Amino acid sequence: MTASATTDNALLELSGLPRFDAITPETVGPAMDHLLAEAGQALEAVCAEAFPADWQAMASRLDVATERLGRAWGAVSHLNSVADTPELRAAYNAALPKVTEFWTRLGADERLYGKYKAMEVTRLTPEQKRAHHNAMRGFVLGGAELRGEAKDRFAAIQERQAELAQRFSENALDATDAFGWYVPREQLDGLPEDVLQATAAAAQADGQEGHKLTLKMPCYLPVMQFARQSAVRERMYRAYATRASNQAEGEAVRFDNAAIMVELLALRHEEARLLGHRHFADVSLVPKMAESPEQVVAFMRDLAAKARPFAERDLADMRAFAAEHLGLDDPQPWDWAYIGEKLKEARYAFSEQEVKPYFTAPKVLAGLFQIVETLFEVAIRPDHAPVWHPGVEFYRIERSGPNGPELVGQFYLDPGARKGKRGGAWMDDVRGRWLRPDTGQLQTPVAHMVCNFAEGLEIDGLRKPALLTHDDVITLFHEFGHGLHHMLTQVDERDVAGISGVEWDAVELPSQFMENFCWEWDVLRHMTAHVDTGEALPRELFDKMLAAKNFQSGLQTLRQVEFALFDMLLHSQAEPPEDEAALLALLHQVRQEVALIMPPDYNRTSHTFSHIFAGGYSAGYYSYKWAEVLSADAYAAFEEAAERTGRGPLDVETGRRYRQAILEAGGSRPAMDSFKAFRGREPSIDALLRHQGMA
């Protein structure tokens, strides 16, 4: 590697925060080559016979090099998700095979595995013991016990899977971005004013008349809920439900994900067989709380049985309402969101759009910060860092110490939906907490919090803040819960600090836990201010929201069960599906079992199911419901405290116990141990059923 290739390369400045404003596609290749070479040399050094099988010595040499590589690649991957361009995508895809090859080689290196086996585990700290246990398990799952052709094939499978997952993700993004429909105002009766303004602005930006409808959530969802013209809803539904499939309209068929899905499933099955397992679901559950695919399937089916009577009542209510009030005797798939919204308005005398003007993004954020500061005894302050888009904000979290404020962690917040940014919402780590073995200094954690909310608009020269739906508020709290898990950890061993090393089916506990505060009056009233008048949300309107909280929770539960069951059954078949038809047949079978509303034959939601095909939730989508049992029961402790004290849910003492038992402990012990440390017992499903009105 020549000096000129790495001089002034922003990706190689790893002592502080990433220089997101200076990372260009041209910096990716040289930086990755340099860091891969550095990590490769470190691997060879620690695998040398003379190098001691000592935790600290190996961490000082190998972990330092791999952490540098991981952080730089993390920055590139992040930009690829939030600021996708053809040039960056090309640079990312060129480096992806090399990076995948290195991590596969590292995880399967029998010499390194031998060093870990030779360590004197009794001399390790409890945190190091947990990290060592995870590493040993990781070596087995990483193919370290394979030999010869099997090992080579395993490595090839990993590389191909990484490539396919990336292509799946790109197709889903491109298929979403490819759709744009310019519609005259008269066809958009019923659409909320802020949506009309945003769609008119989008059309104007393209030099077009009328309103531009897209498949991005801030546009798609309100069209489905509020557009009075059934034909408009049908066109949007069909475009959304056929993304990344051969059912898509026009040019968009080129983003078909069918072959990618079939090949990915075949590769996962082959990987499982190489590792001596029946199927990929067995492999996926090795590091999770759930003990077997059969246990997960039984859990999901039990939940479906409990939810079904409520879902049947939900559906009967909608059918009756649609026939009597909307003239829809035979509702179609694109009608249900509209019917649901109209029924909610009629039954509870409120609409999502009535609530939305009270949730301005700055006020919601201030309210969220106040909750976190009160409950977890920290302070959140604006901070400075290079960012990838003008809409990104940066903050620091501090705790008061003996010598003044002490830095706990920092985070980026990227709230807005835009072209080139993948849909959904997520938290990711920039770097983890670590008592660095090379410097002896404590490295504080940094996180990304990414959402896809509507942007604020400039109207008549005035800048209006972004308005959030209540669902958006819940999403923000959810992702912030993940962020707190990552940032408030007090564990100094990087591999088990924060979210690292936490079982995947427990990692949603802190995120889902935070959602509960979005339903507390004492909390909500402080984070609302009407966009025009500044008035707080009226209590009467909140009571209507609360009455509607569990509206259609039965149907929503069945929907989640459908996804989770499809995922688990898909990955636990004796043989993987041989083609798209077999995959769709399984999905149809699952729907026949649990769903009450059957979608049309052209529906291809599986083709954008990024969680399981590109997002780490393969044979793990059940985690959302599994962790919901934990999170609801954890929140019940705050409800019990509120009953005892009469002071509301922001009980500092309970918050401190929760922070210490769950957030600060991170992955340093099994999640069940952390839960029991907080609640004093194993979790119960009762709180979840009560919270969802299905007790």
Q: Write out the catalytic residue numbers.
A: 479
End-to-end CA distance of the chain: 64
112 and 58 Cβ atoms separated by less than 8 Å: no
How far apart (Å, rounded) are the C-alpha atoms in residues 118 and 139? Answer: 14
DSSP string covering 292-325: -HHHHHHHHHHHHHHHHHHHHHHHHHHHHHHHHH
- Amino acid identity for residue 543 in this structure: D
Give me the sign of the Cα torsion angle 353, 357, 362, 368.
negative
**To 10 degrees, what angle do helices 553-571 and 293-325 make?**
140
654 and 638 Cβ atoms separated by less than 8 Å: yes
Q: Kindly give the pairing relationship between strand 446-453 and strand 404-416.
A: parallel
- CB count in 10 Å sphere of residue 556: 16
Quick one: DSSP state of residue 242?
T
631: part of which helix (H) or strand (E)? helix 623-645
| Long-range contacts, stretch 678-683, CB < 8 angstroms, 24+ apart | 678/634, 678/637, 679/633, 679/634, 679/637, 683/629, 683/630, 683/633
Where b means 16+ CB within 10 Å and e means fewer, 122-155 reads: eebeebbbbbbebbeebbbbbbbebeeeebeebb
